[in-house]
Amino acid sequence: MVANTYDISASTADRRSEEATTRPLARSAAADTRRPTADVAPVECRRWEQMVASLQTVTRLVTLPTLTFLIVLAVWATTQSTVAPDLPTVGETWQRAVTLFSDPFYDYGPNDMGIGWQVTYSLGRVLGGFFLALLVGIPVGLMMGTSEVCRRAWGPLIQILRPVSPLAWLPIGLLLFRAVDPSAIFVIFITSIWPIILNTSAGVQAIPRDYMNVSRVLQLNRLEITRKILLPAALPHMLTGMRLSLGIAWMVIVAAEMLTGGIGIGFFVWDEWNNLNVASILVAILVIGLVGIALDTVMNLVQRRLDYTQR
């Protein structure tokens, strides 16, 4: 009887031991079967969020601009059919663009060159006047920013000359240089220098006084102060002025070339108007806008690369 009781107790203990061993295994197996289901939901949510973000990006970068251009084309077609029948249609302008861009760098003489050469000559004048404005504008801006005397002496003159129309400077340029290219570069220089001067001066004035106090403690000379403190600290303002000046220079060159003649996109527009070829003028307007966007994009990349406030 005692032996039977002992066997029953032993078997009961063995069953309890097996149950205690198998329950955690069952629980872990159940947890393993439930875990993929729990992980699927966040993955699907992330995929859905990424899809929505991609659609929003496409809408912002492609759909909305495309809709805007379609509206402009519709207004153009309506205006041509109702108000201005002499205005070329969208199809005629497109055909003229294909003709111009099929051989943009042909050269049949000074008065008959492709639109690619016209843009190249204009860019050369723009960059020439722009770099001259940098060479003069940055030192003047540094002096105005560091010296109260210079600021008071030159400030009124700059405020008087800054609003003057670019075309008002063209006769002065022709009188001084008696040639087309130097006159156009002079006009670009005199109209694009003001944002560089003012922004450089503002950047220097915005430098904290602690920087200058440190330069005195280190006994830096003026060249070292300019190279190690003024230029790096004022660089964001200077880059903003350069970006504005380059945009102004590109706008000015078109008007200047219309009056001076020669080779350039401005002269191309005026010459096509004399030939009553309005479709070519519309293509040139598009080219001028695209080149302006390219110049601004380049300056934006330079600004992001060098401006420490945008890193």
Q: How far apart are CA 58 and CA 63, in angstroms?
A: 7
**Cβ neighbours, 10 Å, residue 306:** 14
At 261, is the pLDDT very low, low, confident or very high (cuts 50, 70, 90)?
confident
8 Å CB contact between 156 and 144: no
* pLDDT of res. 84: 86
Q: How far apart are CA 196 and CA 200, in angstroms?
A: 6
8 Å CB contact between 157 and 144: no
- Within 13 A of 243's CA, how many CA atoms are on the CB side? 19
Residue 8 has pLDDT above 50, yes or no: no
Mean of pLDDT values over 291-303: 92
Q: Which amino acid is at 27?
A: R
Q: How far apart are CA 249 and CA 57, in angstroms?
A: 33
8 Å CB contact between 268 and 118: yes
Bridge partners, residue 69, by sequence: none
**Cα distances (Å, whole numbers) of residue 294 to 51, 238, 288, 300:** 31, 20, 10, 10
* pLDDT of res. 294: 95
Residue 4 has pLDDT above 70, yes or no: no
- pTM to 2 decimals? 0.76
Intra-chain end-to-end CA distance of the chain, in Å? 89
At 241, is the pLDDT very low, low, confident or very high (cuts 50, 70, 90)?
very high
* pLDDT of res. 6: 41
